[in-house]
Amino acid sequence: MTLDLTGQKYGRLTVIKEVERKGYTRRWQCKCDCGNERVVVVTQPNLRNNHTTSCGCVRKEKASISNSKDLVSKRFGKLTVVQSTDKRINRKIVWECKCDCGELTNVSTDKLLLGTTTSCGCARVDAGIQVQQKLQTDLTVDGVIIPTLTRKARIDNKTGVKGVSLVPLKNGTEKYKAMISIKGKTIYLGRFDTLEEAKIARKKAEEHYHKPYIDSLEDTEK
């Protein structure tokens, strides 16, 4: 038996009648309780799973409520709201805020309420500085930053092996070139006919040049 949604309510929508399908999906014309005369056509799945429950008025009302809030003097992370501005982004009020660092910045209502923006940008800078400090103090051995040694091959590396690249030759053939870097110096390991040979050369070089530093860090952490 074909399901008939006529007369049923879904949120603010009352189903009036079925209209032409879109592909295999059944669609229904609905009337919204807000009195909007605009024809509202909703797919059957969106009605039954409550994905669509109005003509769009509910979303507008929520936006209006959040946009009408007075945020002056309220704190959001490192930001304190000073005053509203005449600017609007997607109909959202843009607020002038003062950061704990002393800088002024403009932030829209939604970014403040959602916690997307919590500083003038200094928090991101501070986090970067903290990461660098940790690298220098906790993860560095004799000037060598250990995470750079253990990092995997870049996603744009066509061979999939760190330090190994495919080099085209003038005669139309290709060779696998292996290299390794340590303390700012790049060491050439040779060209090879097969990827496996280049991979072995790179592995031996890692044992010789990288492993002592990695082992040294592991010893200090014990």
Task: Quote the pLDDT of residue 63.
Answer: 64
Is the pLDDT at 220 greater than 70, yes or no?
A: no
pLDDT digits (tens, 9 = 90+) for 177-205: 999 999 889 999 999 999 999 999 999 99
Phi, psi of 45 (to 5 degrees): -60, -40
Q: Which two structure tokens, joined as six digits, stand for 148?
A: 């750079």
Pairing of strands 174-182, 13-22: unpaired
Task: Quote the pLDDT of residue 145.
Answer: 82
- Adjacent-strand bridge partners of 28: 18, 42
- Name the average pLDDT for the chain: 88
CA distances from 9 to 3, 21, 29, 105 (A): 14, 20, 12, 46
pLDDT digits (tens, 9 = 90+) for 73-118: 999 999 999 999 989 888 788 999 999 999 999 999 989 988 889 9
Is the pLDDT at 171 greater than 60, yes or no?
A: yes
Confirm if 31 and 57 have CB atoms less than 8 A apart.
no
Task: Quote the pLDDT of residue 26.
Answer: 93
Rounded to whole angstroms, the Cα distance separating 72 from 29 reads 44
Rounded to whole angstroms, the Cα distance separating 195 from 206 reads 16
For range 46-71, the mean pLDDT:
80
